[in-house]
Amino acid sequence: MAQAYMTETGGGGTGEGREGSRLRRLLGRWFGAWRGDRGIWRRGAVVAVLALLVALAMVLHAQVPNSVGNLGSLTETFLPWLGIAIPLLLVLAIVRRSAIALIAVLVPTIVWLNLFGGLVTSKTGGGGDLTVVTHNVNADNPDPSDTAGDVAASGADVVALEELTEAAVPVYEKALAATYPHHEVVGTIGLWSKYPMSATKPVDIKLGWQRAMRSTVTTPEGPVAVYVAHLPSVRVKLAAGFTARQRDRSANALGEAIADEPLQDVVLLGDLNGTMNDRALNAVTAQMRSTQGAAGDGFGFSWPASFPMARIDQIMVRGLEPTASWTLPATGSDHLPVAARVTITTSGR
């Protein structure tokens, strides 16, 4: 009787074992159907071609011309998001029961992992001599005082703010005064520091008004040249495409200023309205390291704050070693603040 009972209940195995057995039988029938399907290598050509096109777009993004609506820069701004196509193509390949499509989907998968796989896992470490934060506070911020409090609570040693309005500057100065005894405001940007600042001056980025500055921050480990910049905004327009020419000129001017910087240790903080992949920022990115790429926790997308899709707020360094990089919680701005810790090298002291 006991033997009959065990037979009726599946041999007395656990529920987990029975579920595993059912899954194996299901997969066996499914793959068995594939093995018996003579069209498995003939279907799915369209899916395979689409997969290869996605892979080519990622590999050859630098070859997409900017001569037509700055299409190359637009592609590079949202380049990581091409990876969304991979799971969609995988589903289509499975639905079509196409072996050739499944193999083709491996190609963009490998390319995406090669380009962005290092950003998936956290590289944040401990230590660091200096913590910095940059934040586009938004000219229409409804509560500047609260935003300043959020930034100060980050524990940063140096804070850069962009998109300051004339009316809001006194609010930020008052809210940050207790934490940051040293500060300078140039045009619509400002720099606040726990350490003494000197040699502060505007940086000409070919705009006709002031949206970039440079200052020497004297830390306990040595002097650091800190640049703050807010490059011109970009827009996507139906007739004109990706309108970024003014930003591109400003990026070139900023890159020239940084190249002429005599101090070894340099930090760039700001809203660059562009990503590290965007070729238009090469004058800057070619000579500096992104803290997010070197020591970040994920992609670190910073804009828009409601659903971040791109990291256009940057912290970059030269002569310094990034140890951590992360985004801060949303404030009253349409950008997220971004933060980083860096080690000041002996060569820069």
pLDDT digits 0-9 by tens, 180-232 = 999 999 999 999 999 999 999 999 999 989 999 999 999 999 999 999 999 99
What pLDDT does 10 receive?
Answer: 47
Tell me the domain boundaries of the chain.
37-120, 130-348
The pLDDT, as a whole number, for residue 70 is 81
pLDDT at 6: 44
pLDDT digit string, tens, across residues 69-92: 788 898 999 999 999 999 999 999
Instruction: For residues 279 and 276, give the distance between their C-alpha atoms in angstroms, rounded to a whole number.
Output: 8
Token pair 């998968």: residue: 109
Which residues, other chains included, contact 344 with Cβ-Cβ below 8 Å and sequence gap of 6+? 129, 130, 219, 221, 222, 224, 265, 320
Per-residue pLDDT, 112: 97
**Is the predicted pLDDT of residue 15 greater than 70, yes or no?**
no
What average pLDDT does the segment 21-47 reach? 69
Per-residue pLDDT at 94 exceeds 90: yes
Examine the pLDDT at 93 and tell me if it is beyond 50: yes
Query: What is the strand order of the sheet 212-219 is part of?
Result: 197-202, 212-219, 222-230, 266-271, 313-318, 289-290
Banded pLDDT at 245 (limits 50, 70, 90):
confident
Instruction: Determine the Cα–Cα distance for residues 259 and 252; give it in Å rounded to an integer.
Output: 11
Task: Specify the amino acid at residue 129.
Answer: D
Task: Assess contact for 285 and 316: CB atoms under 8 A.
Answer: yes
What pLDDT is stored for residue 349 in this prediction? Answer: 44
**Three-state SS at 27:** helix
List the structure tokens of 36. 């018996």
In Å, what is the CA distance from 327 to each residue of 180, 212, 218? 21, 22, 25
| DSSP element (H, E) containing 218 | strand 212-219
Q: How many Cβ atoms sit within 10 Å of the Cβ of residue 49?
A: 12
In tens, the pLDDT along 277-292 reads 999 999 999 999 999 9
Taking only Cα atoms into account, the Rg of the chain, rounded to an integer number of angstroms, comes to: 26
Structure tokens at 52: 């290869």
d(CA 273, CA 277): 12
Q: Confidence class of residue 235 from pLDDT cuts 50, 70 and 90?
A: confident
pLDDT tens by residue, 143-185: 999 999 999 999 999 999 999 999 999 999 999 999 999 999 9
pLDDT of amino acid 318: 98
| CATH match for 130-348 among 2.40.30.10, 3.60.10.10, 1.10.390.10, 1.10.3720.10 | 3.60.10.10
Mean pLDDT estimate for the chain: 89
Asked whether residue 13 carries a pLDDT value surpassing 50, the answer given is yes
pLDDT at 39: 74
Residue pLDDT, tens place only, 289-303: 999 999 998 999 999
CB 52 within 8 A of CB 253: no
Dihedral class, residue 317 (left if φ above 0, else alpha if ψ from -120 to 50, else beta):
beta
* pLDDT > 70 in the chain, percent: 86
The CB density around residue 53, as the number of other CB atoms within 10 Å, is 12
The pLDDT of residue 252 is 97
Average pLDDT over every residue of 311-322: 97
pLDDT value of residue 126 = 86
Query: Can you tell me the mean pLDDT for 13-26?
Result: 63
Q: 54: helix, coil or strand?
A: helix
